[in-house]
């Protein structure tokens, strides 16, 4: 059972989404994705580092064959707010031409990363491209967003756990916590 309150680097956090809620929602997303990709073999592209845990749990619940690849971009560095500038750290390994691509994000806020990834993948001429994000922050988009599969919509607060970090730490928490204000 997860704690209701935690303290990290003198910041107080409260439980936002329990591990049980996350697990249940991922099962629902996997059902929907499996139905949508029936008869296809999508390639799921995890956006490192944050999406690793979500991607791992999601693919184990899928009922269709799939492949995985990873890309690593950054717009945060060690800060709690996006700089707005996207930096490519690790590019795709797979050839996405003609493939059904499902980009797996941990969290979407401004939409700048999603916009960058969409343009980058579209240049590779995939058969299709969709996005799944465990979390989407309400009212934060600075570019139009189309997230095809959303785990949870949350308020615009800093969150940590279940892949989400604070200065690369606390990704291993099995629930999601939001900073108390």
Does the annotation mark 57 as catalytic? Answer: no
Number of C-alpha atoms within 13 angstroms, CB side, residue 77? 6
**3-state SS assignment for residue 28:** helix
Cα 58-127-111 angle, rounded to 5 deg: 60
**Strand partners for 71:** 47
Beta-carbon contacts of 62 under 8 Å, excluding residues fewer than 6 positions away, are 30, 33, 34
**Which ranges in the chain belong to alpha helices (H)?**
19-36, 52-61, 112-122
First to last CA, the chain: 24
Catalytic annotation, pick one of 57, 100, 106, 109: 109
Place of tokens 């890309």: 71
Hey, how many other C-beta atoms are within 10 angstroms of the C-beta on 171?
Answer: 17
Strands (E), 97-175: 100-108, 128-137, 149-154, 159-160
Q: Which residues are catalytic?
A: 109
């Amino acid at each position: 059972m997860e704690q209701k309150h935690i303290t990290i680097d003198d910041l107080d956090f409260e439980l936002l989404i329990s591990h049980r809620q996350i697990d249940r929602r991922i099962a629902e997303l996997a059902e929907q994705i499996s139905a949508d990709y029936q008869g296809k073999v999508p390639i799921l592209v995890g956006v490192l580092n944050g999406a690793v845990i979500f991607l791992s749990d999601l693919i184990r619940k899928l009922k269709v064959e799939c492949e995985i690849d990873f890309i690593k971009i950054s717009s945060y560095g060690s800060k709690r707010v996006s700089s707005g500038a996207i930096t490519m750290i690790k590019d795709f390994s797979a050839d996405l031409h003609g493939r059904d691509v499902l980009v797996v994000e941990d969290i979407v806020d401004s939409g700048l990363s999603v916009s960058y990834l969409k343009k980058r993948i579209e240049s590779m001429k995939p058969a299709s491209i969709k996005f799944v994000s465990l979390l989407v922050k309400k009212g934060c988009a600075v570019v139009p967003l189309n997230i095809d599969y959303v785990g949870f919509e949350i308020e615009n607060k800093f969150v940590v756990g279940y892949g989400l970090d604070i200065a690369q730490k606390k990704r291993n928490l099995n629930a999601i916590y939001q900073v108390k204000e």
